[in-house]
Structure 1
């Protein structure tokens, strides 16, 4: 029985690689925030580019 429990306890106490997982989670949260911000401003940016296009075409 101890041959099964000992490796499981070692696996539970092993903290190697935890930092990589934390950095991965931080990167995922930042990515979701950036995607959300881009999605929120997409309509405004399209309107801005439309106004610029109209102004340039009117000047030609």
Structure 2
């Protein structure tokens, strides 16, 4: 019975579960906003390329 009580009080795996949930949310957001993120990154690289050509 003491083993069950110790198991329920153990919190070592909580950090791993939190990290996995955060990653799932981030991946979900990337999937949902994939087109907008792609356009944003392409525009940023175009601006960098245009401004570097002017130097």
TM-score (norm 2): 0.56
Of stretches 15-24 and 25-34 in structure 1, the one that deviates more from structure 2 is 15-24
Give 5+ residue unaligned stretches, structure 1.
Answer: 1-8
Is 1:44 matched with 2:33?
Answer: no
The within-5 A match list for 1:21-40 is 21-40=13-32
Aligned-residue RMSD, C-alpha: 3.1
From the two aligned structures, give the one with the greater helix fraction. Answer: 1
Give 5+ residue unaligned stretches, structure 2: 51-55
**Which one has a bigger Cα radius of gyration?**
1
**Residues 21 and 15 from structure 1, CA distance in 2 versus in 1: closer, same or farther, beyond 3 angstroms?**
same
Q: What is the CA–CA distance in structure 2 between the aligned matches of 1:42 and 1:17, rounded to whole Å?
A: 41
What is the aligned length? 49
What's the TM-score once normalised by structure 1's chain length? 0.53
Bigger relative contact order, structure 1 or 2 (CA pairs below 8 A, ≥6 apart): 2
